[in-house]
């Protein structure tokens, strides 16, 4: 027997319904009538093998079997005894908050003079607790992780015990011809921050000489055989004019572009004017009627993403404190300290973290739980990041502009409504 997932999302608009799985980021649009029939079948405990006794018309039977199979494949319908426990955790670990740079937008306000935790024994103890979780992904970051005098010893220790993905997030200035091969053997992917397209634009944010060192680092890694290199570009009102050039640069270098939104926290709080407002161009041009009809009757071609913090993604600080992500770390509200968790199995896989006051407060910040958005029929598709949503809510004009532009586009894409 099947049931709806515990991560169920439901959106309704007139005679249509979208149902989905918030964790898997899958969804399907149905007529309200079909959804009602499906609900009744589930309530009565009728599985697809019994549809032949319910539907007189073979076409109706085949149609609902197709829906059943699609919903099952997308994990919107799950087995009745499935508790849907989380089984994949991603950990981003700030091994230090010390950094050799002083970037103007730094989320963590990383420092160049000292380190919150340079206690080798404590750092290895944190590593052991992280390894107990059996994460699908561990990313070492900072500050600048490579400033640790025992960075390679720590990385090799983790690699020897961690068979899943291990990534490095770095400013690239410590990568050289002598260590690039070692890095390539240890890490599955390397993410390097640049925030510019040349020396002039990069130095505005990250300092003089950094751009050249990053270009050299990419060359060294490629020569060592590293295939998975990404360049990170934090989009601000100052550098947004170079965004297309950044994508062009990444194409020329054969690396993956990663454009991220600027968050006015940490050192970035000094530059709140860098926040990039969403496009508010509200054109009145109508789409051709046949396109609107196609959108109404067909499945939406819209991306749907969920917040990783809600589903087993954690940012761990150099002292072992756990946060949903780096921006939320700036608020100083730790979920817990990983060194103080005695039973990692029940805490993570048993989802005991959801019992904390910090988690409950975090859930309340989800866009769909915001009073103004609660009745909106596009609310699950509008905001992927609760932190950015929270920042936008603080600026009523910006929020209104974003809401108008996004809702117009999403109403058309999801429901075929102009």
Lowest model confidence (mean pLDDT) among 173-187, 233-247, 254-268, 380-394: 254-268
Q: 297 pLDDT band (50/70/90 cuts)? A: confident
Are the beta carbons of 155 and 148 closer than 8 angstroms?
A: no
Highest mean predicted confidence (pLDDT) among 20-34, 101-115, 197-211, 373-387: 20-34
The position carrying tokens 């194409």 is: 251
Residue 271 has pLDDT above 70, yes or no: no
Of the two residues 371 and 185, the one the predictor is more confident about is: 185
**In the predicted model, is pLDDT for residue 279 greater than 60?**
no
CA 232, CA 239: separation in Å to the nearest integer?
13
pLDDT of 90-130, one tens digit each?
A: 999 999 988 888 775 554 444 444 444 468 999 999 999 99
Confidence band, pLDDT 50/70/90 cuts, at residue 269: low
Mean pLDDT calculated for residue range 125-151: 96
| Whole-number pLDDT of residue 105 | 53
- Which pLDDT value is given to residue 253? 95
How large is the average pLDDT for residues 40-66?
95
CATH number for the domain formed by residue range(s) 90-277: 3.20.20.70
| Residue 77 φ then ψ, to 5° | -105, 135
pLDDT value at residue 268? 45
For the stretch 54-95, pLDDT in tens is 999 999 999 999 999 999 999 999 999 999 988 889 999 999
Asked if 276 and 262 count as a contact pair (C-beta separation under 8 A), the reply is: yes
Q: Which range scores top for mean pLDDT: 143-147, 187-191, 238-242, 255-259?
A: 187-191
In the sheet that holds 16-21, the strands lie side by side as 8-13, 16-21, 26-31
Neighbours of 329 (CB within 10 A): 22
Residue with tokens 């799985």: 21
SS3 at position 7: coil
Region of 75 please: left (phi>0), alpha (psi -120 to 50) or beta: left
Beta bridge partners, 13, equal 16
Q: For residue 167, which phi and psi values (nearest 5 degrees)?
A: -120, 160
Q: Which residues contact 317 (CB under 8 A, 6 or more apart)?
A: 94, 97, 116, 323, 329, 334
Do residues 90 and 312 lie in contact, with contact meaning Cβ atoms separated by under 8 Å? yes
- In this prediction, what percent of the chain has a pLDDT beyond 70? 90
Question: 4 versus 280: which is more confidently predicted?
Answer: 4
Taking 70 as the threshold, does the pLDDT of residue 205 lie above it? Answer: yes
State how far the alpha carbon of 111 is from the alpha carbons of 100, 150, 163, 319, in Å: 8, 19, 32, 15
Tell me if 194 sits within 8 A of 165, measured CB to CB: no
Please check whether residue 306 is in contact with residue 23, taking contact to mean a CB–CB distance below 8 angstroms: yes
Q: What number of other Cβ atoms are within 10 A of residue 400's Cβ?
A: 12
**What count of residues does the chain have?**
418
Token digits for 239? 């550098």
Q: How many CB atoms lie within 10 A of CB 178?
A: 8
The DSSP 8-state label assigned to residue 415 in this structure reads: I
* Number of Cβ atoms within 10 Å of the Cβ of 219: 14
101: Cβ–Cβ under 8 A, 6 or more apart, which residues? 110, 112, 144, 171, 173, 206, 207, 210
Q: Are strands 336-337 and 321-323 parallel, antiparallel or unpaired?
A: antiparallel
More confident: 309 or 11: 11
Instruction: Quote the pLDDT of residue 273.
Output: 45
Helix H or strand E segment including 247: helix 243-253
pLDDT score for 403: 86
Is the pTM value of this prediction over 0.85?
no
Cα 271 off chain centre by: 24
Task: Please give the pLDDT value at position 107.
Answer: 46
Q: What is the pLDDT of residues 366-399, one digit of tens each?
A: 888 888 888 999 999 988 778 778 777 877 887 8
Bridging pattern class, strands 256-261 and 2-4: unpaired
């Amino acid at each position: 027997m099947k049931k709806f997932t515990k991560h169920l999302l439901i959106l309704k608009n007139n005679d249509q319904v979208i149902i989905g799985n918030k964790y898997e980021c899958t969804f399907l649009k149905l007529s309200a009538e079909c959804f009602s029939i499906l609900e009744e079948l589930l309530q009565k405990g009728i599985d697809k093998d019994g549809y032949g006794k319910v539907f007189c018309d073979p076409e109706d039977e085949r149609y609902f079997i197709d829906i059943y199979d699609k919903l099952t494949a997308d994990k919107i319908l799950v087995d009745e005894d499935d508790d849907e426990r989380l089984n994949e955790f991603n950990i981003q670990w700030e091994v230090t908050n010390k950094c050799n740079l002083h970037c103007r937008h730094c989320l963590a306000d990383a420092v160049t003079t000292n380190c919150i935790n340079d206690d080798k024994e404590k750092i290895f103890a944190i590593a052991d607790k992280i390894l107990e979780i059996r994460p699908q992904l561990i990313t070492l970051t900072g500050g600048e992780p490579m400033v640790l005098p025992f960075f390679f010893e720590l990385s090799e220790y983790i690699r020897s015990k961690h068979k899943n993905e291990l990534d490095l997030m770095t400013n690239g200035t410590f990568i050289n011809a002598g260590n690039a091969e070692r890095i390539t053997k240890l890490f599955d992917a390397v993410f390097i921050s640049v925030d510019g397209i040349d020396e002039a634009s990069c130095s505005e944010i990250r300092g003089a000489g950094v751009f050249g060192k990053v270009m050299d680092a990419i060359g060294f890694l490629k020569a060592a055989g590293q295939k998975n290199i990404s360049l990170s570009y934090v989009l601000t009102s100052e550098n947004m004019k170079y965004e297309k050039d950044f994508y062009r640069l990444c194409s020329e270098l054969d690396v993956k572009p990663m454009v991220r939104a600027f968050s006015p926290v940490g050192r970035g709080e000094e530059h709140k004017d860098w926040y990039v407002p969403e496009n508010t161009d509200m054109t009145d041009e109508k789409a051709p009627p046949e396109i609107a009809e196609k959108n109404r009757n067909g499945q939406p071609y819209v991306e749907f993403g969920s917040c990783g913090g809600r589903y087993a993604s954690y940012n761990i600080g150099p002292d072992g404190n756990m946060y949903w992500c780096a921006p939320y770390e700036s608020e100083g509200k730790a979920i817990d300290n990983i060194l103080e968790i005695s039973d990692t199995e029940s805490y993570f896989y048993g989802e005991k973290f959801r019992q904390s006051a910090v988690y409950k407060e975090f859930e309340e910040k989800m866009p769909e739980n915001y009073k103004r958005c609660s009745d909106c029929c596009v609310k699950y598709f509008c905001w992927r990041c609760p932190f950015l949503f929270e920042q936008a809510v603080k600026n009523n004009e910006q929020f209104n502009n974003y809401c108008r532009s996004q809702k117009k586009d999403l109403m058309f894409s999801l429901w075929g409504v102009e």
